Each structure stands twice: as C-alpha cells, then as structure tokens.
Chain A
Amino acid sequence: MIWGEMLLDREVHTACGSDMMSDVLAFVKDQSVLLTGLCNMQAIRTAEMMDIICIVFVRGKVPDEAMIQLAREREIVLLSSGHRMFSACGLLYEKGLRGGAPYR
C-alpha cells in the first residue's frame, strides 16, 4: 500500500492490465483498477483521464514522489505488488474481479 488507506472502502467493478496506456485508454468502465508495470507520470495521468480509482504497480515497481503527489490530488489509490502481471491479474480474477466487455 503506497497511498490511499482512507479510500479502501471504495468498490471496484472491473480491472484492466497493461503496460501500454493507449490499450488502457481504449477501455472504459466505471470504478476500475489498473494493473501496470509502467511506472511513470503517464500511468497516473491515464488513470486520471479514465476515472480509474486504483493502480496496482506490478513486478515490484514503486512510484516516485511526484507520481504519489498527483495520485493524492486525484484521489487514486496506489498499490505495489511483487507479483508479475499475469499472477497479479490472476489473483484478482480468482477473487471475482472481471475485465469487462471485449474490445470492439
């Protein structure tokens, strides 16, 4: 948990896992979580544009102070996991989180 303890009661409905932000931007769902190995400002910006409420950085990536600051301003919860993308997505899928409709 990097930031957002006070927002943990929020509910997520869908998830999306990608290191390519345009793939993320092609997918719109409410109250989503983004899993990504991309650890730069644009990951936070993408979440902001999409109204994504939580980002999970996979493969042990940890955001820097500027990223945390932006996430704080936009109220985006930040988590970091040592799992690789596939496993991190699998864990959430196993718990019932789904990816939403296929890309059209």
Chain B
Amino acid sequence: MINYITLTYQVSGDDFTRAGEASSDVKSKLKQMGVSPEMVRKVAISMYEGEINMVIHAHGGIIKVTISPHEILMVLEDQGPGIPDVEKAMQAGYSTAPENIRSLGFGAGMGLPNMKKYTDEMDIKTKIGVGTTVTMKVKL
C-alpha cells in the first residue's frame, strides 16, 4: 500500500552525465511500491525531461516528488533565466538549446511537449531572471 511520501532531490547543473539520476531513483522507488509500469513510465519520462531541462537551461535546481495513493506530484524549481515565451516553448520542435546540447542528444524542442503529453496536469510559473517552477501531476 502506498503512503504519502515526499522525496527531494538537488539536481546539479554542471554535470550532464549525471542528469537523470533523480528520475531514475523515483522510477525504481515507484516500481518497488508496486505502481503500474505504465504510470511509472509516465512519471519517469516527464520528470526526466524536466530534470534535463534544469541541467541544460537553469544550472540545476530542486525537484520535489510527492507520492500519494491517488496521484504523483512533481515540482521542479530552478533559479535559471526563466522562459520568455511559454506558449512558444510548448510548441513541438521549438528549442532554444545551444548547438552543443544537440550533440548530447537533447534540444529537439520536444521536452515540454513530452512533459505535457505524459502528465494529467502541468503548470509552468516563470519569471525572467528569477526562475521557473514546473508542476506536474500524474493520476494513478
């Protein structure tokens, strides 16, 4: 049986090879708790995209994941540059990632669309020069 659990992760902004460790940890914990593979995958993919974004665009940040019997809530908070045009950023294929990020396999402009696709609710609060908070919910 799932209880209310909150997990907090500090995502480092300077080590791209380690990006995804937090999502990986959440994935294995959910699996252990007996959450269905489909739901685990939804959470893992959306959190992983968010985690990658944090590393690429915002020098890291903090991710809080709350697991409750009916939903999984992910809050990704960074103190990065903010998103100037959220609507544009949500368009599939639109990316502001630099060329070196593309050579690392990201920056195809699918991150935010994927996060929206795999979650039941998604909200972005962003302020230029202050940071961005992305809240995502996956219903179980």
Q: Are A40 and B17 in contact (CB under 8 A)?
A: yes
Chain A interface: which of B3-11, B41-49, B62-70, B126-134? B41-49
* Contact of A45 with B19 at beta-carbon distance under 8 Å, contacts A25-B45, A50-B45 already known: yes
Q: Which of these, A19, A26, A36, A45, contacts B114 with CB under 8 Å? A: A26
Contact of A22 among B24, B27, B114 (CB under 8 A): B114
Distance, CA A66 to CA B44, complexed state (A): 21
1-54 of chain B: CB within 8 A of chain A: 16-20, 23-24, 27, 37, 41, 44-45, 48-49, 52
Q: Is the CB of B41 within 8 A of A41?
A: no
Interface of B is mostly: helix
A6 to B136, CA, bound (A): 38
Cβ of A42: which chain B residues have Cβ within 8 Å of it?
16-17, 19-20, 52, 104-106
User: Which residues of chain A (1-55) have a CB below 8 Å from chain B?
Assistant: 19-23, 25-26, 28, 36, 38, 40-43, 45-46, 48-51
Contacts of A41 in B (CB 8 A): 16-18, 20
Q: B111 an interface residue at 8 Å Cβ cutoff?
A: yes
**A25-B48, A25-B110, A42-B20 known; A49-B27 Cβ under 8 A:** yes
Q: How far is the CB of B43 from chain A (nearest CB, A)?
A: 9
- Chain A residue, CB-CB nearest to B43: A49
Report whether B49 and A25 are in contact in the complex, using a CB–CB cutoff of 8 Å.
yes
User: What CA separation (Å) do A28 and B44 show in the bound complex?
Assistant: 12
Of B44, B105, B111, B113, the residue contacting A40 (CB under 8 A) is: B105
Please tell me which one of the listed residues A20, A21, A49, A66 contacts residue B17 in the complex, with CB atoms under 8 A apart.
A66
Q: Return 30 A-B CB contacts under 8 Å, by A number.
A: A19-B105, A20-B102, A20-B108, A20-B110, A22-B106, A22-B107, A22-B110, A23-B108, A25-B45, A25-B48, A25-B49, A26-B110, A26-B113, A26-B117, A28-B41, A28-B45, A36-B105, A41-B16, A42-B16, A42-B17, A42-B19, A42-B20, A42-B105, A43-B105, A45-B19, A45-B20, A46-B105, A48-B20, A49-B23, A49-B41
Q: Which residues of A contact B (CB under 8 A)?
A: 19-23, 25-26, 28, 36, 38, 40-43, 45-46, 48-51, 66
